[in-house]
Structure 1
Amino acid sequence: MMDARESPDNILRKIQQEEKKARQGKLKIFFGYAAGVGKTYAMLEAAHEELAKGTDVVAGYIEPHARPETVALVRGLEVLSPLTVPYKEMQLKEFDIDGAIRRKPQLILVDELAHTNAQGCRHEKRYQDIQELLRAGINVYTTINVQHIESLNDIVASITKVIVRERIPDYVFDDADQVELVDIEPADLVKRLTDGKIYAQAQVGRALQHFFIADNLTALREIALRRMADRVNKISLRTKNEKKDDYYTKEHILVCLSSSPSNPKIIRTAARMADAFDARFTALFVRTSGFDATSKENRDRLEQNMHLAELLGAKIETVVGENVPFQIAEFARMSGVSQLVVGRSNTKSGLFHLMQKSFTDQLLVYLPKIDVHVIPDSNTPVLRLNFMHRSRQRRESFHLKDTGITLLIFAITTAISLAFDSWELTDIAIIPLYLIGVLIDALKTTDRFHSILLAILNILTFDFLFIEPRHTLSAYDPSYGITFVILFVAAVIAGELANKVKIQAVQAAQLAYRMRLLLETSQMMQKATSDTDVEKIMADQLVKLLNRDIVYYHVDHVQNIGRLMAPIVYEASGHFKEKEALTSPNEQAVALWVYKNRKRAGASTETLGDAKCLYLPVRSGDDVYGVVGMAAQQHHVESNEVNLALSILTEGSLALEKELYNKKRQEMYLQARNEQLRSNLLRSISHDLRTPLTSISGNADFLLNNSDKLSDQQKRSMYAGIYDDSMWLINLVENILSVTRIENGTIQIHKQNELLDDIVYEALKHVNQRRRNHNIRFEAPAEILIVVGDARLLAQVLINLIDNAVKYTPEGSEILIKARKKADKIEVTVADTGAGIPNDEKKRIFEMFYTAERSVADSRRGMGIGLSLCQSIIRAHGGTIYVKDNVPHGTLFVFTLPAKEI
C-alpha cells in the first residue's frame, strides 16, 4: 500500500501560513462568564511570569478597578500613558495605540477587548486596536466576558434581560492563539460581590437584584463552558481538515437580510448554525423597486444588519427583483444552499392573508428540497404600517408632469371614443380603447396612483357620454354596474402589470449595465500594457459604476516600496470643487493606514470614520498595489456599492500583479543576461587577452635584454609585432567599452550628415598593420553618398568587419569595400575571398561571444563581440546587417544606412 503524501501545494500553503503567523503577534484572551471572576488578575499574574522570564512587558491599558489585589499586581510593570480624548467637557482616558506601536514591546496588556473607544480615536472598537498591534508583531494579553461575543448576544439578553452594546465578532475570539477560561463558582462570585471586591457597596444591592442572580450566573457559566468546548472542537476539526486536501463541506447556510428590527436575531442564529456545521455562510439582500423610496431609518438599519452579517463571517450578496421569495429561491438553488434561515412572517392579516400565501409558505413551495428554518419573533411589524408608509411615498411622488400625461391620455382616448360613437360603433370598441389608455398611462407615469385615477375617469366618462341616458351618471340597464366594476378591476390589473413590467425593465437595464461594465473592465484589463493603464481603467470604471469621485494612490513596488505616491482624483461631477478636501493631509494619512494594514478604512467603517472617503486596498493576498478612495461626503456608501467596487478592484489587483511579475521576470532575465555577459567577458578576457599580452611582454623583454644582438630587420619585425598586438588590444577594448555602454543604455549616438567616403577612409586608417598582407580596396562610388549617423560608431563597424575578414582569410586575399544607393538607403558591402561561412553558422554569427569554428590566420581568436557590436550599432541607426556567400567563394557582409538627399 502506497503512503499518502501531502501535495506540494498544500505544503507550500502551510509554509506561507507559518511565515505569516511568525510575523504577527500572538493573542491570548482571558475569558470569563461575568465581571469579577478574576480575568484581569489572572492576566496580570501571567504578565509577571513573563516578566520574570525576561520578556519585555508593558501594561498598555488596565481598566481602573477599585480592587486592592488587582492594583497591587500593576506595580512592577511599565505602564503606558493613556490617550486623553475630550468629550462633552470631559477628559476620557483611552488606550494609546500609536504610543504602543512606537514603544513596541514584546508583550502588551490591553484590558476589556470589547470596549468601544471614544469618538476621535482611530478605531471605533478596541479589538481593532489589538488587531493592529498583532499586525505590528506585538503579542497581546486581553480580557472579555461571554456576553460580549456577537453571536451569543441575543441568548445572553434573553437570560439576563440586559442588551450588551459592546460586542466583538466571533472570529476575533475563535482566531485567538490561546484562550484561558477564568472560572469561579457562582456562589463564590456572589460572596466576592457582597464583600465589596467587585463593585462599590452602593452598587452591590442593585447588582444582586438584577444581573448577579444565581440562575443568571449559572446559565452564563454554562454558555461560557459550551463556547470554550466549541472552540476546542473547531481547532480539532481544523487540524483534521488540514490533512485532507480534498476536504469540502457541503453545508451552505443562507440568511435573508432586511431592515427589520428583528433581523439581527435571525443573523446571529444563522451564524451559530454555520459555526456549528462548519458551513459556508451567505447573507442575501433582495433589492426591490421600492427600496429607493425607503426611509433613511430603514436604510441605516439595513446597513447595520449587513455590517453585522459581515462581522459574523457572512459573504454579502445582492439580487434585484420584485418577487422576493422567488429571488431568494433562485439564488439558493444556483448557489447550492443547503439550509435557509428566515424570520417568521406575520406581515399579512385579514383579507391579504386569505388572498395570498405568506412569505414563508411561498418559500416552502419554491424550495421543497431545502431546509427552511423559521425564527419566531413577536416584534415584526405588520403590513398595514408598510401600506401607510407606501401611501405617504405615493403622495410625495405626486408630480404635475404625471398628472399632465394622465389628462392628455384621457383627452385623446375620449376624443377617439367620441369619433367611434359618431361612426355608430358599439361599446365593445370603446371599452378596449380605455383599457389601452390605462396601459399607456402606467408605462409613462412614475406611480400607480395616476393609473387608478385614469381608470376612474374613464368609467365616469364612459357612463356620462355613451350609456343611456346620456349626459347623466345613471344607466337604464342595471348590468352596466357589473360592467363598470369589471372595467375598473381590469384597468387596475392592467396598470399594475404594466407598472411591474416597467420596473423590471429598469432593473434589468441597471443589471445589464453593471454586468456590461464589469465585462468591459475585464476585457480592458487584459489589453492594458502598464500599471498606469490598469489604474486608470479601474478608476474610470468605478466612476462610471458608482457615479462618485474616485481618489487613487499608486504604490511603486520598484522604487518606492512602503510609500504611497501622490493622489490622483478622477471626478464624476465634471468639476474639482472637492479636490482639496479629498486629498488633504488627513485623507492621505487614512490612505497610508489602509496601505500599511491592508484593510478598508474611512467613511462608513469603524476605523477613521470621519474621513471624507471610503478607502479600499487594491490587494492580492498580502500584497497591496494601490489604494482607492470613494467619495462619501455626498451620500452614504452602501454595501452593494462596496461589493461592486471590490469586483473591479479584484480584476485590477490581478492585472497589477501580472504587470509586477512581468517586470520582475524582465529584471531577472536582464540580471541573468548580464551575469552571463560578465562571466563570458571574464572568461574571454582571461583566455583571449593572455596571448597578445604575453607576446607584447615577451618581445619587449627580449628587446631590452638582447637589443645589441639583433639586426635592424629583426628589431623592426618585433616592433611591428608589438604594434599589431597593441592595436588589436586597443580595438578589443574599444569594442568591450562600446558593448558595455549599449548594454547599460548609456551610449550616446550623435547623428548628423556624414560623407560615406570619409567614414571608410577613417576606418582604413585604424585597421591594424596586418592589412599590409592583404589587398584591401575601396571602390569609391561615382556619386556622392551622404549618410545620417554617428561617424565614430560607423567607422567602428567597418573596422570590425575588415578585421574579421583579415582574421579569417589567408595572406594575400582580397578585401573589397563597395557602396551604392538603393532607394532611400545606402548599402555598404565588405567582401572577402576566404573560405566562407557555413550556413548553420550564419544564423549565429551576430550573437554575443559566438566565434566561428574556423581556422584563424594568426594565433589570436576574437572574443565574439565585434560582429554583435556591429549589429547593435547598425540597428541603432535604423539599418540592417546580414551575411551571405561571395560567389565564387568567400563572404559578403552587407549593411544598410539611411541616406540623405544632397
Structure 2
Amino acid sequence: MPIIRKSPEKILEQIHIEEHESKRGKLKIFFGYAAGVGKTYAMLEAAHEAKKQGIDVVAGYIEPHARPATAALVNGLEVISPLVINHKDITLNEFNLDAAIKRNPQLILVDELAHTNADGCRHIKRYQDIEELLKAGIDVYTTINVQHIESLNDIVASITKIIVRERIPDRIFDEAEQVELVDIEPSDLVTRLSEGKIYQKEQADRALGNFFTVENLTALREIALRRMADRVNKISLKVKNENNKDYYTNEHILVCLSSSPSNSKIIRTAARMANAFKAQFTALFVQTSSFEKTSLENKKRLKENIHLAEQLGAKIEMVVGEDIPFQIAEFARLAGVSKLVIGRSIARNGFMRLMRKSFTDKLIEQLPNLDIHVIPDNKALFYKNFWKKSVNEREICNTSDIITILVILIITSMIGMLFYSMNLGEANIMTVYILGVLIAALKTSKRLYSVVLSVLNVLAFDFLFIEPRYTFTAYDPVYIITFSVMFVSAFVTGGLTNKIKKQAIQSAKLAYRTKILLETNQLLQQAGSDAAIATVTSHQLLKLLNKTIVYYSADKKGLLPPVVYNVKNDVHTEQLINSNERAVAQWVYKNNKRAGVKTGTLNNAKCQYLAIRSKDNVYGVVGIAIDNEDLDVFENNLVLSILGECALALEKEIYSKKRQEIYLQAKNEQLRSNLLRSISHDLRTPLTSISGNADFLLSNSAKIDDVKRQELYNNIYDDSMWLINLVENILFITRIENKTMKINLQTELLDDIINEALKHLYRRGKNHHIVFEETKDIMMVKVDARLLVQVFINIIDNAIKYTPKDSTITISAKIKSDKIEVSIADNGQGISDEAKDKLFEMFYTANSTVADSRRGIGIGLSLCKSIIMAHGGEIKVRDNKPQGTVFIFTLPKEEINFNE
C-alpha cells in the first residue's frame, strides 16, 4: 500500500492552524434536551474537579436557578461580579465580559449560551461574549438545550408549538472542543418538575400542561441524541478528509432567499440537507427592479434571512434581473448546483394555473435535470403582499406622470385628426395611439400610467374618429373587436416597454457597480505603497456608497491614527474618530469580526467597522458611516469584495517588502562569501612574502649585506602597504553596503588631494612615470577628502599593476561648467570592450598579464564608482589614444567668494 505524504505547503498550513488553535481557548458545552436535566449542575461539578487539578477556575455567570443543590455548588468558586444594567426601570444582571477578560482565568463558567444580552452590553448575544473569551485564550464551560440550535428551530417548534427566540448558530455547537450530553429519562424529568425541583409550583403546573409533556420531552430527547450523533459523524469525516484540500463532496445545495416570513424555515431545511450530504451550501437572492419599493418590514425580514443563512454556513450570492426563475436557473447551471431548495407558494385555483405557470413549474422547465426540493410554505403572503404593493403604488400619484400622459394623449389625438383629414385610415390612427402608450411607458415611473393611457386612447379613438363622432357609441358592432385589439395591443406594448426599461435600469446599475470593482482591482495593482492602497480603497468605497469612510491602517504595534474620507454633506467628522469609535475599530482589528452600527456587537457606534483581512491576517479596519438604512445585499457583497482586493494588495506589498529584504540579505551573504573567498586567496601571496622575508632577516641577519637587507625591508613595506590599502577598501565597501558610511563634505583644493594620494603611491610608482599636469586654475571641490584620496589611490594603483615598467600615468583636471572633470590616463596595453562593461562590478578582475603579481580582489574600482556617485558625480573608462586607458570622473565644483 503506497504511503501518502503531505506536501510542504500542507505541513506549513497544518502548523499554522495548530499554532492558531493553541492560542485559542477551548469550549465545552453541557448539552441537554430540556430545562432541568442537570446541565448547570454537571458543569459546576466539572468545574470543582478542574479546580482540584490546580486549574484557575472562575464562575463568570451562573443563572440564578431556584435549585438549592445547584446553588450550593457555586460555593467554593470565585465569582465575577455581574454587570448591572438598568433597562426600562428594571435592574438586570448580565455577564461582565470586560471583568472576565481582565481577570484572565484558565477556565470560566458562563451559563445559558443562547441568552440575549440587555441593551448596553458589548454584544447582542452571549455566544458572542464566549467567542471573545475563546479568542483571548480562556477556556469556557457553558450550557444549552437542543431547542436553541438554529437549524433545529423549526423541528422543535413543530413538536412543541413554541417558537424559541434565543438561538445560536450551528457552527458554535459543531466547533466546540467537547460536548457532553446531560441526559435523564423524560418520566424522571416530569417527576422532578412535579416535585418543584425545577420551577415554582405555579410555573411548574403551567409547564406540565404545555411544554413538559412526556411526548414532547421524548421527541426532544431523540432530536438531541441525533444531533450528538451528527456531531460525532462530522468529526470523524473531518479527520478522514484532513489530507484533502476541499472538505465538500460533489453535492452543492442552493437555497433561494426572499422576504417571505417562512423563508427562514426553507433556509434551515436546506442547511440540514447540506450538513447531511456534507455539501457546499449557497444562498441566492435575485434582486428585481421592484425591490427598492419594497416595504421596510420586508427589507428587514430579508436582512434577517440573509443573516440566518450566513449563520448556518451559507455563502451569500446575489444576481440582478426581472425573470427570477431564469436567473436562478442560470446561476444553478454556472455554479454546478446539484440540489435546489425552494418554498411552495399558496395553491392557486384551476383558472389561475391555466392562465399562468407557477414559479415551481417554471423552474422545473428551466432545470429539468436538477433535484428541486419544494418545502410547504403555508405562511406565504403572495396575494396579500401583491395587493398591498399594488395599493401602495396607487396611493402615490405623481403629478408629473399624470401631466405626461395627458400631453401624450393630446398630441396623439392631434396627429390622429391630421391623419383623419388626410384619409390615411383608422389603422394608422390606431398605430399613433399605440406609439403614444409606448412613449408613456418610457417616460412615466409606473406601469399604471401606461394602462390608464391605453383606456383613454380607446375612448379618444371612439369619441373622435368612429361614427357617430363626438360620442362614445358606434354604429357598427365590429368596432368592439377593434377597440379590444387596440387596448390589448397598447397594454402589451406598454408592458413590454416598461419591462425593458426596468431591465435597462438594473443592467446600468449592475454595470456601474461591476465597473467600480474592476476599476478597484486595476487601481490597486498600480498602487505602489500602503498609503496609496488605502487611498484607492477609500475613494472606491466613497464612490460606491456615497458615505463617509474612516480608514485605519495597521502596523506591527496595532492600528494607526485614522484617515477620514468625507462626503460633502457630512460635517460631523469629529464624531467618527473619537475615543469610542477608535475603541470599536480596535476591537474589530483584534477579533477579526464586523462591529458597530447595524451589527450585533457595539451597535451604539456611529460607523460600521469591517476588517481588511485575508484569512486570519488583519491589515487594517474600515469604518462606514451608516445613518438609517443598512447596506443592501449587493452593496455589502461589493464592499467585502473591495476590502478583499485591498487585503490582497496589502499582502502583496508586504510580501514584496519581504522579498526585497530577502534579496538584500542574499546579496549581502553573497558579498561576504565572495569577500572571504577572495581575501583568503589574494592575501596569501603578500602574507607569505612578509613572513618569508621577516624570517630570512631573523635567521640570516649577520650574513646579509646592507643592499640585500634594504631590498628585503622594501619588499616587506610594499607588501604591508598593499595589505593596508586592501583593508581600507574592504572597510569602505562594507560600510557602503551596510549604508553606515557617512560622507563628511568639506571644501578642498583638488591639487592637495591629488598630492596626498601620490604620497601614498610614491614607493609603488617608482618604476612608472606618474605625471600630474597642474593648471593655473584654482579648482575647489566640496568632497570627503579621505574618500577621494582613496579613489585616486585605487585608480592609479590599478594603472601601476596593469601596465609594464616605465609606463607613463598622467593625471589632469579641467573645469567643465559647474563640474570638474578629472582624467587618469596610462599608455599600457589598454582594456578590451568586454572588460569595460564589467570593470566597475564587484569582484571583477581583468585576465591580462600584469607586471605585479598582487592583482587584488576586484573591489577597488567598484568602490571608486560608489564614492564618486555618492558625491553626485559620474565615472567612466575609455581608450587612450594612441594606446592605453583613460579613467574619467566628475566632481561638483565649489565656488569661492574672495570678497568675504
Gap runs ≥5 in structure 2: none
Separation (CA, whole Å) in 2 of partners of 1:711 and 1:177 = 93
Paired residue type of 1:874: I
How much has 1:362 moved relative to structure 2? 1.4
The Cα of 1:520 is off from its aligned counterpart by 1.6
1:579-728 maps to which residues of 2 (within 5 A)?
579-677=573-671
SS in 2 for 1:405: helix
3-state SS of the aligned residue for 1:435? helix
Partner of 1:485: 484
The residue matched to 1:166 in structure 2 has which SS? coil
CA distance in 1, matches of 2:159, 2:21: 38
Q: What's the TM-score once normalised by structure 2's chain length?
A: 0.91
Amino acid of the residue matched to residue 137 of structure 2? Answer: G
Once the two structures are TM-superposed, the CA of residue 222 in structure 1 deviates from its matched residue by 0.4
Whether contact under 8 Å (2:284, 2:316) holds in the other structure is: yes
Stretch of structure 1 that moved more, 111-120 or 462-471: 462-471
**Amino acid in structure 2 at the alignment position of 1:238:** K
CA–CA distance in 2 between the matches of 1:423 and 1:245? 79
SS of residue matched to 1:771: coil
Whether the aligned pair in 1 keeps the contact of 2:548 and 2:570 (CA below 8 Å) is no
Distance 1:77 1:839 in 2: 87
Does the Cα contact within 8 Å between 2:318 and 2:633 map onto a contact in 1?
no
**Relative to structure 2, which stretch is displaced further, 111-120 or 94-103?**
94-103
| Worse-superposed segment, 484-493 or 267-276 | 484-493
* Structure 2 equivalent of residue 327 of structure 1: 327
The match for 2:137 is 137
Contact 2:248–2:280 (Cα < 8 Å) also in 1: no
Query: In 1, Cα distance between the equivalents of 2:11 and 2:802?
Result: 58
2:560 maps to 1:565: yes
Amino acid at match of 2:68: P
Aligned to 1:337: 337
Alpha-carbon distance between aligned partners in 2 of 1:591 and 1:390, rounded to the nearest angstrom: 44
Aligned equivalents of 2:628, 2:247: Cα separation in 1: 46
Shift in Å at residue 576 of structure 1? 4.5
Q: Which amino acid is the alignment partner of residue 581 of structure 1?
A: Q
Quote the offset at 1:577 in angstroms.
0.8
Residues 248 and 278 in structure 2, CA contact (< 8 A), matched pair in contact too: no
Greater mean deviation of Cα atoms: 762-771 or 633-642:
762-771
Partner secondary structure for residue 510 of structure 2 = helix
The question of whether the paired residues in 1 share the 8 Å contact of 2:238 and 2:247 is answered with no
The 3-state SS of whatever aligns with 1:588 is helix
Q: Which moved more, 1:287-296 or 1:419-428?
A: 419-428
Cα deviation, residue 773, structure 1: 3.6
SS of structure 2 residue aligned to 1:242: coil
SS class of match (2:765): helix
Task: Please list, as runs of the form range in 1=range in 2, the aligned pairs for 1:31-46 lying within 5 A after superposition.
Answer: 31-46=31-46
The one-letter amino acid of 2:412's match is: T
Q: TM-score, normalised by structure 1?
A: 0.91
Q: Secondary structure of 2:28's match?
A: strand
Task: Give the Cα separation in 1 of the matches to 2:780 and 2:473.
Answer: 108
Between the aligned partners of 2:602 and 2:826, the Cα distance in structure 1 is 78
What is the CA–CA distance in structure 2 between the aligned matches of 1:793 and 1:470, rounded to whole Å? Answer: 111
Post-superposition offset of 1:227: 0.6
Matches of 1:566 and 1:350 in 2, distance apart?
Answer: 67
| Counterpart residue number, 2:545 | 546
Structure 2 equivalent of residue 296 of structure 1:
296
Deviations 1:69-123 (A, max 9, x none): 2222222222222222232223322222222222222222211111111111111
Amino acid at match of 2:621: V
Aligned counterpart, 1:893:
887
- The verdict on how the C-alpha distance between 1:304 and 1:245 changes in structure 2, with shifts beyond 3 A counting, is closer
Is the 2:113–2:143 Cα contact (8 Å) retained in structure 1? yes
> Aligned partners of 1:575 and 1:778: how far apart in 2?
75
Q: Which residue in 2 is equivalent to 1:355?
A: 355
What residue in structure 2 maps to residue 832 of structure 1?
826
Does the CA-based 8 Å contact 1:604-1:637 persist in structure 2? no
1:758 shift after superposition: 6.3
- The residue that corresponds to 1:250 in the other structure is 250
1:873 matched to which residue of 2?
Answer: 867
| More off after superposition, 756-765 vs 232-241 | 756-765
1:744, distance to aligned residue in structure 2 (A): 4.0
Name the CA distance, whole Å, in 2 between partners of 1:177 and 1:453.
66
Matched, 1:525 2:524: yes
Helix, strand or coil for the counterpart of 1:873? helix
Q: Which amino acid aligns with 1:517?
A: I
Contact 1:820–1:828 under 8 Å retained in 2: yes
| CA shift for structure 1 position 38 | 1.2
Contact map agreement 1:601 1:607 (CA 8 A) in 2: yes
- How far off is 1:268 after superposition? 0.6
Deviation at 1:697, TM superposition (A): 11
Contact 2:285–2:317 at 8 Å: present in 1 too? yes
Quote the Cα distance in structure 2 between the aligned partners of 1:590 and 1:32.
35
Partners in 1 of 2:740 and 2:244 — Cα distance? 56
Residues 82, 769 of structure 1: CA spacing in aligned structure 2 closer, same or farther, 3 A cutoff?
A: farther
Does the CA contact (< 8 Å) of 1:753 and 1:786 recur in 2?
yes
Percent identity for Structure 1 against Structure 2: 64
Change (3 A) 1:853 1:103: farther
CA contact (8 A) 1:347 1:381 kept: no
What CA RMSD, in Å, does the superposition of the two structures yield over aligned residues?
Answer: 3.5
The alignment partner of 2:559 has SS state of: coil
8 Å CA contact 1:329, 1:366 repeated in 2? yes
Q: Distance in 2 between matches of 1:711 and 1:93?
A: 108
1:265-290 superposed Cα distances (whole Å, 9 cap, x missing partner)? 11111111111111111111111111
Which AA in structure 2 matches 1:415? M
Query: How many angstroms does 1:356 deviate by?
Result: 0.7
Asked if 1:85 corresponds to 2:80, the answer is no
SS of the residue corresponding to residue 561 of structure 2 reads coil
The separation in 1 between residues aligned to 2:235 and 2:310, in whole angstroms, is: 22
- Count matched residues: 896
Q: Secondary structure at the match of 2:152?
A: helix
Q: Does structure 2 conserve the Cα–Cα contact (< 8 Å) formed by 1:56 and 1:106?
A: yes
Aligned to 1:192: 192
The separation in 1 between residues aligned to 2:746 and 2:465, in whole angstroms, is 98
Alpha-carbon distance in structure 1 between the residues aligned to 2:518 and 2:176: 40
Structure 1 residues 787-866: aligned runs within 5 Å: 793-819=787-813, 828-834=822-828, 843-850=837-844, 862=856, 864-866=858-860
2:119 is the counterpart of 1:99: no
List gaps (5 residues or longer) in structure 1: none
Query: Are 2:321 and 2:503, in contact at CA under 8 Å, matched by a contact in 1?
Result: yes
Deviation at 1:394, TM superposition (A): 3.7
Aligned AA (1:174): D
Structure 2 counterpart SS, 1:292: helix
**Counterpart code for 1:53:** Q
